[in-house]
């Protein structure tokens, strides 16, 4: 799956089992709903998927990448970006949704992956490419629209804007040092858009 690329052009012998792959991803996803990434063992996955451990390692170089695919495949679906006509509203809306999802047991994976990536640069890289990048690219659309409509100042890089908005969420998700709910989402976008400085209304 990591390198699906070209669909197999027909090979001799038994063909790769699509069922096995699906079972592996499904099992991984379910397990990740219950345990943290590194409490899920490769044997857990194999057993639950009714699959051999060797089959897993045949197609993925390690456990983490299985999880990445499992979560990635799933989230590819629900990538939809609001378009209310206001960048601020769009960001607020998306931030709220994102927070709700990532706080759910099924959604802690973002943190798990970031955590896993700290000890595995290769994995972190893939995580960015296959997980983060697509989402961020979608969100950049909001930013671009905002800039185009004259809602957002041009001098700030789009990437930076995303980090200004989602960085605080990521921080709180990972460190858990403060509340994280719809109210915070509103406050964050409000602050990012309007700034925390008092107008120097001399």
Partner DNA sequence: CCGTAACCGAGACGGTACGTCACGTCTTCCA
Partner DNA sequence: TGGAAGACGTGACGTACCGTCTCGGTTACGG
In the list DNA, a copy of itself, none, the entry touching 57 (Cβ below 5 to 8 angstroms by class) is: DNA
- Asked whether the beta carbons of 91 and 97 are under 8 A apart, the reply is no
As measured in angstroms, the least distance from the Cβ of 96 to a copy of itself is: 16
Helix, strand or coil, per DSSP, at residue 22: helix
- Asked whether the beta carbons of 66 and 55 are under 8 A apart, the reply is no
In the list a copy of itself, DNA, none, the entry touching 194 (Cβ below 5 to 8 angstroms by class) is: a copy of itself
Give the count of beta carbons closer than 10 Å to the beta carbon of residue 141: 14
Query: Is the CB of 85 or the CB of 176 nearer to a copy of itself?
Result: 176
Query: Is the CB of 39 or the CB of 182 nearer to DNA?
Result: 39
Query: Is the CB of 18 or the CB of 175 nearer to a copy of itself?
Result: 175
Return d(Cα 32, Cα 29) in angstroms, integer. 5
Return d(Cα 54, Cα 50) in angstroms, integer. 12
Q: Phi, psi at residue 76, to the nearest 5°? A: -55, -30
Residue 176 binding a copy of itself, by CB under 8 A: yes
As measured in angstroms, the least distance from the Cβ of 46 to DNA is: 7
Return d(Cα 187, Cα 142) in angstroms, integer. 18
- Binding residues (CB under 8 A) for a copy of itself: these are 36-39, 88, 108, 111-112, 114-119, 124, 127-128, 132-133, 136, 150-153, 156-157, 159-161, 163-164, 166-172, 174-178, 184, 187-188, 191-198
């Amino acid at each position: 799956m990591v390198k699906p690329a070209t669909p197999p052009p027909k090979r001799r012998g038994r063909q790769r089992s699509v069922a096995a792959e699906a079972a592996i991803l499904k099992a991984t996803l379910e397990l990740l709903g219950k345990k943290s990434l590194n409490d899920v063992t490769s044997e857990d996955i194999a057993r639950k998927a009714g699959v051999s451990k060797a089959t897993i390692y045949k197609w993925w170089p390690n456990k983490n990448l299985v999880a990445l695919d499992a979560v990635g495949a799933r989230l590819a679906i629900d990538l939809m970006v609001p378009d209310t006509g206001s960048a601020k509203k769009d960001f607020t809306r998306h931030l709220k949704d994102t927070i709700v999802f990532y706080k759910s047991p099924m959604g802690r994976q973002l943190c798990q992956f970031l955590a896993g990536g700290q000890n595995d640069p290769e994995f972190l890289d893939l995580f960015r490419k296959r997980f983060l990048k697509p989402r961020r690219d979608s969100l950049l659309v909001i930013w671009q629209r905002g800039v185009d409509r004259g809602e957002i100042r041009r001098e700030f890089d789009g990437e930076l804007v995303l980090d200004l908005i989602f960085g605080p969420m990521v921080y709180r998700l990972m460190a858990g040092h403060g509340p994280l709910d719809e109210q915070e989402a509103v406050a964050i976008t409000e602050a990012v858009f309007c700034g925390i400085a008092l107008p120097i209304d001399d």
